[in-house]
Homo-oligomer: A and B are copies of this chain.
Amino acid sequence: KRSRVFLFCGSAAFLIVCSCLCVSAEVSTPAGVTLLPPVQPENGPQSYPNAKKSNLPVFTINYSRIQIPFEITLWMLLASFAKVGFHVYHKITIWVPESCLLISIGLIVGGIMYSVHEEPPAVLSNSVFFLYILPPMVLESGYFMPTRPFFENIGTVFWFAVVGTLWNSIGIGISLFGICQIEAFGVQDINLQENLLFASIISAVDPVAVLTVFEDVSVNEQLYIVVFGECLFNDAVTVVLYNMFSFVAEMPVVEPVDVFLGMARFLVVGLGGMGFGILFGFVASFTTRFTSKVREIEPLFIFMYSYLAYLVAELFAISSIMAIVCCALTMKYYVEENVSQRSCTTIRHVVKMLSSISETVIFFFLGVVTITTEHEWNWGYLLFTLLFAFIWRSLGVLVLIPIINPFRTIPLNLKDQFGLAYGGLRGAISFALAFTLPESIVRKHLFVTATIAVILFTVFLQGISIRPLIELINVRRTNRKEDLINVEIHRRMMEHTMTGIEDICGQWSHFYWKDKFMKFNNRFLRRILIRDSRPESGIVALYKKLELQNAMEILDSVSGDISSAPAIVSLQYETWIKLPLN
What is the distance, in angstroms, from A581's C-beta to the closest C-beta of chain B?
9
Contact partner of A294 (CB less than 8 A), chosen from B83, B239, B296, is: B83
A505 in the interface (beta carbon within 8 A): no
Q: Are B58 and A265 in contact (CB under 8 A)?
A: yes
Q: Name which residue of chain B comes closest to A90, CB basis.
A: B293
B562 and A558 within 8 A (CB): no
Q: Is there an interface contact between B73 and A304, defined as CB atoms closer than 8 Å?
A: yes
Query: With an 8 A cutoff between CB atoms, is A383 at the interface?
Result: no
Decide if B342 touches A58 in the complex (CB within 8 Å): no
State in angstroms the CA–CA spacing of A58 and B437 once bound together.
Answer: 20
For residue A56, which residues in chain B have a CB less than 8 angstroms away from its CB? 244, 247-248, 251, 258, 261-262, 265
The one of B261, B353, B357, B439 in contact with A42, judged by C-beta atoms closer than 8 angstroms, is B439
Report B-chain residues with C-beta under 8 Å of the C-beta of A575: 569
- A42: min CB distance to chain B, Å: 6
A132 / chain B contacts, CB cutoff of 8 Å: 69
A253 interface residue per 8 A CB criterion: yes
- With an 8 A cutoff between CB atoms, is A60 at the interface? yes
Give A288's nearest chain B residue, CB to CB.
Answer: B84
Determine how close the nearest CB of chain B comes to the CB of A542; give it in whole angstroms: 11
Q: Once the chains are docked, how many angstroms separate the CA of A304 from the CA of B9?
A: 17
CB-defined contacts of A547 to chain B, threshold 8 Å: 558, 568
A284 to chain B minimum Cβ distance, whole angstroms, is 11
Task: Say which one of A445-453, A468-476, A548-556 lies at the interface with B.
Answer: A548-556
The answer to whether B572 touches A317, judged by C-beta atoms less than 8 angstroms apart, is no
Secondary structure of the A contact surface, majority rule: helix
Interface centre among A42, A126, A315, A436 (most CB of B within 10 A): A315
Which residues 58-80 of A sit at the B interface, judged by CB distance below 8 A?
A: 58-63, 65-66, 69-70, 73-74, 76-77, 80
Contact partner, A582, options B57, B261, B562, Cβ 8 Å: B562
Interface 1/0 per residue, A22-65 and B, CB below 8 Å: 00000000000000111110111111100000111111111101
> 1/0 per residue A298-319: CB within 8 Å of B?
0111001101100110111100
The residue from B45, B48, B341, B350 contacting A346, defined by CB atoms under 8 A apart: B350
A561 to chain B, nearest CB (A): 6
Shortest Cβ distance from A80 into B: residue: B297
Across the interface, name the chain B residue whose C-beta is closest to A48: B247
A182 contacts the other chain (CB 8 A): no
Q: Write the nearest CB–CB distance from A196 to chain B, whole angstroms.
A: 14
Quick check: B252 and A45 within 8 Å, CB to CB?
Answer: no
Tell me the bound Cα distance from A566 to B579 in angstroms: 12
* B-chain residues with CB within 8 Å of residue A522 when the two chains form the complex: none
Hey, which chain B residues are within 8 Å of A308, CB to CB? Answer: 70, 73-74, 77
Residues on B with C-beta less than 8 A from A104 are: none
Q: How many residues of A contact B (CB 8 A)?
A: 129
Most chain B beta-carbon contacts within 10 A, residue among A125, A290, A350, A436: A290
Instruction: For A42, give the chain B residue with the smallest CB separation.
Output: B125
Given A44-B436, A268-B59, A314-B65, are A342 and B340 neighbors across the interface (CB < 8 Å)?
no
Does A462 have its Cβ within 8 Å of any Cβ on chain B?
no
Q: Is the CB of B304 within 8 A of A76?
A: yes
Contact across chains for A45 and B436 when beta carbons are under 8 A apart: yes
Q: Are B315 and A55 in contact (CB under 8 A)?
A: no
Indicate whether A378 reaches chain B with its CB closer than 8 angstroms.
no
A 495-534 binary contact with B (CB < 8 Å = 1; else 0): 0000000000000000000000000000000000000100
Interchain CB contact under 8 A, A126 and B42: yes
Q: Which single residue of chain B is at the shortest CB-CB distance from A60?
A: B317
Contact of A552 among B252, B314, B555 (CB under 8 A): B555
Given known A433-B45, A569-B576, contact A353–B349 (CB-CB < 8 A)? no
Contact mask A431-442 → B, CB, 8 Å, 1/0?
011001111000
A376-B434 Cα distance, complex, nearest whole Å: 54
CB neighbours (8 Å) of A115 from chain B are none
User: Once the chains are docked, how many angstroms separate the CA of A482 from the CA of B531?
Assistant: 30
Closest to A560 in B: B532
Mark each residue of chain A from 75 to 105: 1 if its CB lies under 8 Å from any CB of chain B, else 0.
0110010011001101000000000000000
Query: Is A430 part of the binding interface, using a Cβ–Cβ cutoff of 8 Å?
Result: no
A243 to B568 CA separation, bound complex (whole angstroms): 55
| Contact indicator per residue, chain A 110-126, by CB within 8 Å of chain B (1) or not (0) | 00000000000000011
> A419 CB to closest chain B CB, in angstroms?
26
> Is A485 close to B, CB under 8 A?
no
Given the complex, which residues of B lie within 8 Å of A62, measured CB to CB? Answer: 314-315, 317
Closest A-B pairs by Cβ, 5 of them:
A87-B293, A346-B349, A341-B559, A56-B261, A46-B317
Q: What would 4 more interface pairs be, CB under 8 Å, given A60-B316, A87-B293, A88-B293?
A: A73-B308, A73-B311, A84-B291, A547-B558
A-B pairs with beta carbons under 8 Å apart, 29 shown:
A44-B437, A48-B247, A54-B252, A56-B247, A59-B268, A59-B316, A60-B316, A61-B317, A65-B127, A66-B131, A66-B315, A73-B304, A73-B307, A76-B300, A77-B308, A80-B304, A87-B293, A296-B353, A340-B559, A341-B555, A341-B559, A342-B345, A342-B555, A342-B556, A343-B349, A345-B349, A548-B559, A562-B582, A568-B572
